[in-house]
């Protein structure tokens, strides 16, 4: 079932989303994390968070390398979306965003959360995206389910690839990728990003053409992150060398 059909069944209003409203506010990480734990609870523990919000130090990152995202991106399966629809009264605003093709909800802290049904923009979410998601338990707040670091990075590279020739690679995506790649080296309890798995995801979900991959690597220019110290920069360079080797080596 399409998300618009579900919204129609549940009587969810349809309208344009006022994104300007969110730009008036800056949020502390604690407030954003709390919104994600509420999303986890209100969706039957099934909706998965992805995007810049996932790089907060409490989740897949290890330090704040940029201002926190002002909204939360998420996706879920039909049963989890239905659960969220049942709990829509817990939010100050709840509507179907026509342009976004998502449920758009706003909590009592005025944080906007976009939730898709098995799709992230025009990309159909595969089952292993759900299977490989990770649950973080935040003391005194609750649990958050996030996409794996490999899928997080692939999605950011995918956006850059889709914008190739139209827009430059987003600086915030470059910073977020660096944060995810570096976090396991500076924070206990996080596994290292599986660079071979990441390469496989890029080849499968973005492109398997070597020349296109080379252009993507050049466009992303992942070494170009300004706010790193010498140790972080050297560590990132080491990881990227392995990643690029894996990504650009022809598969047998």
CATH number for position 5: 3.30.460.10
The residue segments making up the domain with residue 109 are: 1-147
Q: Which of 132, 147, 162 is the last residue of a domain?
A: 147
Say if residue 189 is in the same domain as residue 141.
no
Say if residue 37 is in the same domain as residue 81.
yes
Q: Which single residue is written with the structure tokens 């338990």?
A: 137
Inter-residue contact 177 to 153 (CB < 8 Å): yes
pTM attached to this predicted model: 0.95
Q: CB neighbours of 20 closer than 8 A, spacing ≥ 6?
A: none
Q: Which of 147, 173, 208 is the last residue of a domain?
A: 147
Say if residue 79 is in the same domain as residue 19.
yes
Secondary structure of residue 250 in the 3-state scheme:
coil
Say if residue 157 is in the same domain as residue 126.
no
> How many domains in the chain?
2
Q: Which of 147, 170, 187 is the last residue of a domain?
A: 147
C-alpha 3/C-alpha 85 separation (Å) is 11
Say if residue 115 is in the same domain as residue 159.
no
Say if residue 55 is in the same domain as residue 22.
yes
Say if residue 100 is in the same domain as residue 22.
yes
Say if residue 39 is in the same domain as residue 109.
yes
Say if residue 159 is in the same domain as residue 247.
yes
Cα 155 off chain centre by: 7
> CA nearest 117: which of 232, 241, 5, 35?
5
pLDDT by residue for the chain (252 residues), tens digit each?
A: 889 899 999 999 998 887 666 556 678 889 999 999 999 999 999 999 999 999 999 999 999 999 888 889 999 999 999 999 999 999 998 999 877 889 999 998 888 899 999 999 989 999 999 999 999 999 999 999 999 999 999 999 999 999 998 999 999 999 999 999 999 999 999 999 999 999 999 999 999 999 999 999 999 999 999 989 999 999 999 999 999 999 998 765
Say if residue 164 is in the same domain as residue 232.
yes
> CA nearest 17: which of 69, 67, 68, 71?
71
């Amino acid at each position: 079932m399409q998300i618009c059909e579900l919204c129609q069944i549940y009587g969810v209003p349809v309208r344009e989303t006022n994104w300007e409203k969110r730009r008036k506010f800056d949020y502390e990480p604690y407030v954003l994390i709390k919104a994600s734990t509420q999303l986890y609870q209100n969706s039957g523990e099934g909706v998965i968070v992805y995007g810049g919000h996932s790089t907060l130090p409490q989740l897949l990152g290890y330090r704040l390398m940029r201002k926190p995202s002002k909204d939360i991106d998420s996706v879920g399966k039909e049963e989890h979306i239905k659960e969220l629809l049942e709990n829509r009264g817990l939010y100050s605003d709840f509507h179907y965003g026509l342009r976004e093709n998502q449920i758009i909800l706003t909590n009592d802290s005025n944080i906007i959360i976009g939730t898709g049904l098995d799709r992230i923009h025009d990309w159909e979410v595969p089952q292993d995206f759900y299977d490989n998601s990770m649950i973080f338990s935040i003391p005194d707040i609750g649990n958050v389910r996030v996409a794996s670091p490999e899928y997080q990075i692939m999605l950011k590279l995918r956006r850059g690839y889709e914008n190739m020739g139209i827009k430059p690679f987003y600086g915030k995506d470059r910073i977020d990728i660096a944060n995810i790649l570096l976090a396991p080296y500076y924070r206990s309890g996080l596994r290292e990003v599986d660079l071979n798995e990441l390469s496989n995801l890029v080849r499968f979900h973005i492109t398997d053409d070597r020349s296109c991959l080379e252009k993507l690597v050049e466009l992303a220019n992942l070494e170009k992150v300004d706010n790193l110290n010498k140790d972080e920069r050297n560590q990132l360079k080491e990881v990227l060398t392995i990643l690029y080797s894996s990504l650009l080596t022809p598969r047998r």
